[in-house]
Structure formats: structure tokens, C-alpha cells
């Protein structure tokens, strides 16, 4: 309990007092530490606007229009009775058939009293002390309830003998009125008690609201058409629910969401604290076989599966997806919101800016890049003393270290807090990072495919005083900050990881970090909103989290831990969270288990392994598949031999899954060119190869209804005993991954790679997990090698580190971190209708 006293006694007009009170009420409405508001105001300030400024759920006096409406409708469990009105009615016994006159009682209190009295069988009327005919009215009633003291001009003789007179002035609860009789004392005492009772009820409501709520989800109806329209036509044909409605349906509180437009909302991390004792739901990973360049539909399967679980089997489920980069959206790939009747909507918002997370990552990344080059320039052109005077300036006659500078001093072993006490040697160590420009690994980023930024020269202006070096741009999602966002578990953890980012080595070979540059706090500020997952919905109105989108080669290719953790709490113990890993199971799934699960501590229940007849035919020896080129007849006509031969890749991916002790369900993403015999053959071989089940899926054409069998198989598999385990523990295990996952005979480290491994081990990074950066188009390092290559030596050309994200990534061959635009990019088809503002041509 806390009193909020306003300066009403100051020399303010009534209007100024009124505005001040409303402003304070609105502030307290949004304070999560305040569960109820009681108003003790002068009579002149009680108005409808002030009473209705209080949120209904915090209105302990029960005088807002919402509470009064619930009282009138008789929704007994969902309203609070005015304490004063309740006290009056409680004191009056046997009201059935009696006449009650309310004098000088208007507004909310009068409405409450009339409603309560009439429920008890009384006949009510109202007037004022100065009303004509008052004497007659007083003489014919059994009870008089007055909102102000009886004036002397009204004699007691006007009351018939035995009439009960009760004063219920609004001043009763404030204690401002002098109580002169027993009845007034009784009303006051009882009203205070009832207000306390309302406060208890409100607190009980709040406690109940903090617990997991049963979902009250209203799914959207689908009416699939044949032939299936374009993805954007399907998306536009569906009207999504307002995101605040969706949030309420799945148990999110009003103060746990930040709304972006009509269909997107950020979800605050405070939910994890509220539901910390709630058991997690089942955790499902969608992975795939080695894909064709066209992709095999993992996102579509993920969305179809949750639509089936929730809209058709009535099981709580959440999809957790990566945010797509705008580079491929305008380049060659197009959108990434799923497809057909298994999509996230609105797809144009999903594929474009979303809630600005990638822009925040770009800003943070480039601030750090700017800090590196600026620090080198200033150290090259200034003395120790000049650097010190600028880094620790005198402000208003006082010189002091910032908190991040004090942390750097402690890391250097200098336990001093007064800038005037450092020796010349300590000043030199403090001000000089001595970055070796040849070792800088931190690059600038932009979220656009731009091949001409793959190698650039910076520092050519005269103002940079001859400090010129070669650098490059990466695409924004390749930034280590994106990987950090995906792997962080809290705001504090993210800040710590940002500080650990190694950007270069100094001239002694020691790592230089973002913390050394003093930029950690600023990076955290830029990322403070990006850390919150974005809530959206599927075509059938089921919830989706979109959060983070790290590369699946130089990073781990999975959506965020925080989105998964929040979703696992919201679905409840019997619900399902379905997330997707990039590329094939040999890459995305392996990293999900060994990197993401290691960081989160979460244990997966089931793996859904996506396969297509098209990809299996390619692995069986079919002709090459290229984006934009028509498929050869081998892929459009039945060919059981090609399918059977290609199932070796499916069998290998099942075996890889079994290395981790998790049951696997194969989802065969059916295309219209697949024959029933081909579908049956794949499912048969998958089951024979150790899959818990194998199910053909038609969600692309039928929505969730087309994935019901898959959902049922996943539900059964999740009840199986899981014996999840990591593939490795210990020092730098690329050979373990190469042999057990890829099927290599051995690895071959280049001298540069071996040197880096030795350096990282010496610097204390040797026990970090491994994130292998290799092609996704083959189990080997050679994209043209399909099926299950064997007997090869995996060449590791270099080894790099993402220390903030928490992994080492060996490079198998050359990895491009900046895509280029093709001859005819997707942007030729993308346009905006200036009248309707509709986006055209987006996939």
C-alpha cells in the first residue's frame, strides 16, 4: 500500500488540479507494482472523466463505467462493488418491498446504490434536499440515504416515525468528515472494511493473472483454393486478428506486449519471471535432408505443423522462426514466411522491416566498427598524455572515470579510482589498445546484397591522415551480434556477450574486445528492444514468434533461445513449441543440439526431418537442380529407382539424428508431381531406417488440415523416452563432427588453421563449441557430391572465432558473407500501389 499525495493545496485552479489528478492516475495505471487505485478527492473533483481514468482492473472503489456496467449486468465474479454503497446495503436489513429515497446522491455512487437496493427488493427514488415536494416524499419512505448532511431547513418531523436515515457522503472514506452519530460511524467503518476487501479481491485477481492462463484461441478459417494462388494472394485473402487480441488469447498480459501496428508486437522478457515455475511444453525441431538449391520447405512444414496442432487438434502450439534478411528478399530467394496455405501473415511485414531488429543490429555492428578505426587513428596521432586528457576529461572542474573505464583498469590490474593517481606507465597501458590492423576481424554490415562491398578500401580522405586499410562489408545477418541475439538468455547475458566480442589482436597477440573499446553499454542500448521476440500469427490465427536470423554457415542458423523459452512457458506442459534449423540436419540440426541447446539448457523432444521426392531424386543421381531453371523430366515423372537410390541421404540424416538420442519423424513434403508409389516408397524406407514414423504432408495446398497426421505422429513421438546427449565435450572437436556427422575419413588443417587453433587455445577459448562453416548442398565440402559421399578428407582452410556468441567456426572452403545480386533480381517484380499502399510482387 502506498499513498500518492498530489499538491492539491497549492495555488492551482480546479482545471489544473483535475489535469494533474488524471495524469497521476494514468501513470499509476501503467505501474506494474500498483495493483489497485482508491480515490480520496474533494467532492468537486469527482467526475466521470476522473473515475474512468482508472483502469477497470485497478478500480478498487468500483466506480468506473466498466465496473458499473458489470454490476448492472450481474456479472458477479467480475466486478467490484463501491465500498460505500456496499456498506449502506449491508446495514439495511429486510429491504424487500420497502421504499428507499436517495437524496443528493448522483453519478456512479447513486447508480451503484440503486442497483444494489433494487436487487434486494427495494423500491428506489431520488431527489435533492431542495427538491419541490420533499416533505411529502420523506413522509412516505422507509429509508433515506443522504449524500450530504441534512440541512436545518428540513425538520426531523418531516420523516415518518421509524424511518432510517443514513449518511453516505463521499467524505466518509477519507476521514475528513466529523461523524456525529452511530449510523455514520457504522457506515464509515464498514465502508473502510469493504474497500480493504476489494483490495484483497483485486490482489487475488492480480495473482491469478500472473499464473498461466488457459488459452482461449479463436482460430481463423481457411478455404483453400485449387489451383493454389500465389503466396501473397493467399496472405492478402486472410484477415489477421489484431495482435493485442491474439496476445490476450494466449495468456499474455497487457503490460507484457509492445504493439507495432495492427499485427506485430514485441513481448517483454518479464514474462519469464512471471511464469518461471510453469513447466515447459514439448520442444520440437524441424530439420531437413541435404536440400536442392530450391529448398525443401522446412518453414512451410513448421507452420503447417503448428496450424495442425492448434487449429485442428486443439493442442497449444507455437512456431519460432528466424527473421529473414532483406538481402535475399530483393535478390534471388524472395520471401521466407512459409508458403501456400502454411504461412506467417502478413507476409510483406514478415519479410521486410518487421520491428527493426536487423536495423538495430546493423547500427550496433557499425558503431563497433567505427570505434575500432577511430581508436587506431587517435592512438597513432596523439601522445599518451593527450589521449588520457581526452579519454578522461575534466568536466566542471572534476575528472572521473566512467564505469566501463573503471572495469578496464581492473582488468589491467590497476586498482585505482582517482584519475590523478595513475603513473605514466599505468596511463600508457590504460590509453593504448595497440590494435594490430592486420588482425581486425570485425567488418561493417548492411542488409542488402551488394557484391561490390566484398572488398573495399577505407580511410582515403585526407582527414584520416593516411590511415588506409582494406576492409569489407558483410550482410547484416552475418554479424556476430545477430548470433549473440539468437543465443542470449537475458539482457544481462547479452550485455556480457557483447563485451566479450573479440574484434582484433593487439601487437602482442592478445585479444582486443568491445569492452576494451568502451562501447559495450552503447551496444546494449541499441539492442535493448531487439532482444524482445516479435509476436505474429499463421494463416489460421495460431501464434508465431519471429526472432533473430543468424547465418547457418558461419553461425548456427537457428532462431532465438529467448523466443523458444517464452513460447515453452506459454504453451503449458502439454503444448508444443516448434522451431526450425537452417540448411540440412548435418548443419543446422547439429548446431542446434551442440551450440543452441548447450547455451539454453533446453532438451528437445522430437526432430521432424523434412524430405522431398525432388531432393531424393537428385541424391539418387538425377540431373542438377538450379534456381530459376525448369525441372528436368526426371523430377516431374515417376522414377522409383531414382527415389530409392536417393534415400541414402535420408537414411544418413536419420542416423545423424539418432546420434543425439532424439526420436525422429520424417515429414515428406508432397508436391503435385509426386506419384503415390514414390510417396509410399519414401515413407517405407524411412521407417525401416529407424524413423519413429514417416508421414506425407499436404499443408502447402490444404493448410493445417494437410498436416494433421504429421501432428499426431509428433505428439506420439514426444511421449517416447528421449536420451538426448551432446555429440562432443572437450577441446576443439572438428574431427568428431567431420567423421560422425559428415562421414569424412579425416580432416586436414591448413597451417593457418592450425595456427589459429593454437592461438585460441592459448587465449583460453579452446573449450568453446564448434560451428562448422561448410556448404549446405552436400554432406561433404564439395557441393556437387550428392547422396552420401565417403572416404573424403575434409579440408579446413582457416579457423575463426565468435567469442561473444560463444563458438569457434572452422572454414571448410570459401564462405561468402556478402551475397550478390543476380542478373534479374527479385526487385524487378516488387512495387507499391500508391493508392492502396499494397506491396506487389513480393514472392
Local structure of residue 574 (DSSP, 8 states): T
Local structure of residue 285 (DSSP, 8 states): E
Give the CA angle between residues 785, 737, 732 to the nearest 5°: 135
DSSP 424-486: HHHHHHHH---B-GGG----EEESS--GGGSSEEE--SGGGTT--EEE-EEEGGGSHHHHHHH
Say how far apart CA 192 and CA 117 lie, in whole Å: 20
Q: CA–CA distance from 798 to each of 16, 436, 760 (Å)?
A: 70, 19, 12
Catalytic residues: 298, 300, 322, 333, 552, 583, 671, 700
Three-state SS string over 761-804 comes to: HHCCCCCCCECCECCCCCCCCCCCCCCCCCCCEEEECEEEEECC
Place of cell 502506498: 2
Q: Check if the beta carbon of residue 21 is closer than 8 Å to that of residue 41.
A: yes
Say how far apart CA 305 and CA 282 lie, in whole Å: 14
Say how far apart CA 44 and CA 358 lie, in whole Å: 53
Say how far apart CA 477 and CA 326 lie, in whole Å: 9
> In 588-609, which positions are buried (b, 16+ CB within 10 angstroms) versus exposed (e)?
bbbbbbbbbbbbbebebbbbbb
From 555, 564, 596, select the one nearest 776 (Cα to Cα).
Answer: 555
Element (H, E) at 688: helix 676-688
From 736, 756, 759, select the one nearest 746 (Cα to Cα).
Answer: 736
From 669, 583, 665, select the one nearest 291 (Cα to Cα).
Answer: 583
From 517, 250, 258, select the one nearest 372 (Cα to Cα).
Answer: 517
Three-state SS string over 127-192 comes to: ECCCCCCHHHHHHCCCEEEECCCCCCCCCHHHCCCCCEEEECCCCCCCCCCCCCCHHHHHHHHHHH
Say how far apart CA 523 and CA 453 lie, in whole Å: 24
Amino acid at each position: 500500500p502506498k499513498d500518492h499525495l498530489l499538491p492539491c493545496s497549492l495555488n492551482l485552479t480546479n482545471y489544473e488540479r483535475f489535469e494533474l489528478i488524471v495524469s497521476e492516475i494514468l501513470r499509476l495505471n501503467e505501474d506494474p507494482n500498483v495493483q489497485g487505485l482508491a480515490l480520496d478527492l474533494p467532492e468537486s473533483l469527482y467526475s466521470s472523466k476522473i473515475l474512468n481514468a482508472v483502469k477497470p482492473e485497478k478500480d478498487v472503489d468500483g466506480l468506473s463505467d466498466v465496473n458499473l456496467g458489470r454490476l448492472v449486468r450481474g456479472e458477479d465474479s467480475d466486478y467490484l462493488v463501491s465500498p460505500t454503497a456496499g456498506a449502506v446495503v449491508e446495514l439495511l436489513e429486510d429491504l424487500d418491498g420497502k421504499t428507499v429515497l436517495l437524496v443528493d446522491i448522483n453519478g456512479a455512487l447513486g447508480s451503484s446504490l440503486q442497483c444494489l437496493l433494487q436487487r434486494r427488493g427495494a423500491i428506489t427514488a431520488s431527489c435533492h434536499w431542495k427538491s419541490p415536494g420533499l416533505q411529502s416524499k420523506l413522509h412516505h419512505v422507509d429509508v433515506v440515504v443522504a449524500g450530504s448532511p441534512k440541512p436545518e431547513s428540513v425538520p426531523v418531523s418531516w420523516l415518518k416515525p421509524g424511518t432510517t436515515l443514513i449518511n453516505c457522503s463521499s467524505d466518509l472514506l477519507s476521514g475528513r468528515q466529523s461523524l456525529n452519530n452511530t449510523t455514520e460511524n457504522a457506515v464509515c467503518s464498514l465502508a473502510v472494511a469493504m474497500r480493504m476487501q476489494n483490495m484483497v479481491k483485486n490482489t487475488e485477481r492480480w495473482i491469478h493473472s500472473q499464473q498461466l492462463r488457459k488459452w482461449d484461441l479463436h482460430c481463423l478459417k481457411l478455404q483453400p483454393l485449387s489451383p493454389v494462388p500465389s503466396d501473397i494472394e493467399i496472405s492478402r485473402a486472410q484477415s489477421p486478428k489484431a495482435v493485442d487480441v491474439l496476445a490476450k488469447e494466449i495468456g499474455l498480459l497487457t503490460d507484457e506486449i509492445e504493439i507495432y501496428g495492427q499485427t506485430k508486437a514485441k513481448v517483454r522478457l518479464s514474462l519469464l519471471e512471471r511464469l518461471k515455475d510453469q513447466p515447459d511444453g514439448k520442444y520440437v525441431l524441424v530439420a531437413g535432408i541435404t536440400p536442392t538449391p530450391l529448398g525443401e520447405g522446412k518453414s512451410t512444414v513448421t507452420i503447417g505443423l503448428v496450424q495442425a496442432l492448434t487449429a485442428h487438434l486443439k493442442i497449444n502450439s507455437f512456431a519460432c522462426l528466424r527473421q529473414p534478411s532483406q538481402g535475399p528478399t530483393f535478390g534471388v530467394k524472395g520471401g521466407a514466411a512459409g508458403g501456400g496455405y502454411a504461412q506467417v501473415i502478413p507476409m510483406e511485414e514478415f519479410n521486410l522491416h518487421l520491428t527493426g531488429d536487423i536495423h538495430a543490429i546493423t547500427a550496433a555492428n557499425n558503431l563497433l566498427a567505427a570505434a575500432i578505426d577511430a581508436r587506431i587513428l587517435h592512438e597513432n596521432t596523439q601522445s599518451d598524455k593527450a589521449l588520457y586528457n581526452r579519454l578522461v576529461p575534466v568536466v566542471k572542474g572534476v575528472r572521473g572515470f566512467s564505469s566501463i573505464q573503471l572495469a578496464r583498469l581492473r582488468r589491467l590490474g590497476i586498482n585505482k579510482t582517482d584519475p590523478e593517481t595513475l603513473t605514466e606507465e599505468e596511463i600508457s597501458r590504460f590509453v593504448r589498445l595497440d590494435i594490430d590492423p592486420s588482425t581486425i576481424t570485425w567488418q561493417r554490415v548492411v542488409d542488402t546484397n551488394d557484391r561490390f562491398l566484398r572488398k573495399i578500401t577505407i580511410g582515403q580522405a585526407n582527414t584520416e591522415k593516411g590511415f588506409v586499410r582494406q576492409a569489407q562489408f558483410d550482410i547484416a545477418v552475418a554479424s556476430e551480434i545477430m548470433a549473440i541475439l539468437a543465443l542470449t538468455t537475458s539482457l544481462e547475458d547479452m550485455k556480457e556477450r557483447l563485451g566479450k566480442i573479440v574484434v582484433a589482436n593487439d601487437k602482442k597477440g592478445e585479444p582486443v574486445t568491445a569492452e576494451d573499446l568502451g562501447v559495450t553499454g552503447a551496444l546494449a542500448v541499441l539492442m535493448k528492444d531487439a532482444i524482445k521476440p516479435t509476436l505474429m500469427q499463421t494463416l489460421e490465427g495460431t501464434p508465431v514468434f519471429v526472432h533473430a536470423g543468424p547465418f547457418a554457415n558461419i553461425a548456427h542458423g537457428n532462431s532465438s533461445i529467448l523466443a523458444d523459452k517464452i513460447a515453452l512457458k506459454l504453451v503449458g506442459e502439454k503444448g508444443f513449441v516448434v522451431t526450425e534449423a537452417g540448411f540440412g540436419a548435418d548443419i543446422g540440426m547439429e548446431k542446434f543440439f551442440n551450440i543452441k541447446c548447450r547455451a539454453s539448457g533446453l532438451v528437445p523432444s522430437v526432430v521432424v526431418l523434412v524430405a522431398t521426392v525432388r531432393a531424393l531424386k537428385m541424391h539418387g543421381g538425377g540431373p542438377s537442380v538450379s534456381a530459376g531453371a525448369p525441372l528436368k523430366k526426371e523430377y516431374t515423372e515417376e522414377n522409383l529407382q531414382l527415389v530409392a537410390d536417393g534415400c541414402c541421404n535420408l537414411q544418413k540424416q536419420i542416423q545423424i539424428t539418432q546420434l543425439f538420442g532424439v526420436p525422429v519423424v520424417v515429414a515428406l513434403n508432397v508436391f503435385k508431381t509426386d506419384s503415390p508409389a514414390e510417396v509410399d516408397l519414401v515413407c517405407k524406407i524411412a521407417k525401416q531406417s529407424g524413423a519413429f514414423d514417416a508421414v506425407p504432408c499436404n499443408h502447402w495446398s490444404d493448410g493445417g488440415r494437410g498436416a494433421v497426421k504429421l501432428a499426431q505422429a509428433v505428439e506420439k513421438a514426444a511421449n517416447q523416452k528421449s536420451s538426448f546427449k551432446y555429440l562432443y565435450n572437450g577441446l576443439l572437436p572438428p574431427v568428431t563432427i567431420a567423421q560422425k556427422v559428415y562421414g569424412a575419413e579425416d580432416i586436414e588443417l591448413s597451417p593457418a588453421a592450425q595456427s589459429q587453433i593454437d592461438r585460441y587455445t592459448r587465449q583460453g577459448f579452446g573449450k568453446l563449441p564448434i560451428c562448422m562453416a561448410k556448404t549446405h548442398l552436400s554432406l561433404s565440402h564439395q557441393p556437387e557430391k550428392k547422396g552420401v559421399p565417403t572416404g573424403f578428407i575434409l579440408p579446413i582452410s582457416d579457423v575463426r572465432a565468435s567469442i561473444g556468441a560463444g563458438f569457434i567456426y572452422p572454414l571448410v572452403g570459401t564462405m561468402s558473407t556478402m551475397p550478390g545480386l543476380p542478373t534479374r533480381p527479385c526487385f524487378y517484380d516488387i512495387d507499391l500501389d500508391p493508392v492502396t499502399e499494397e506491396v506487389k510482387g513480393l514472392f
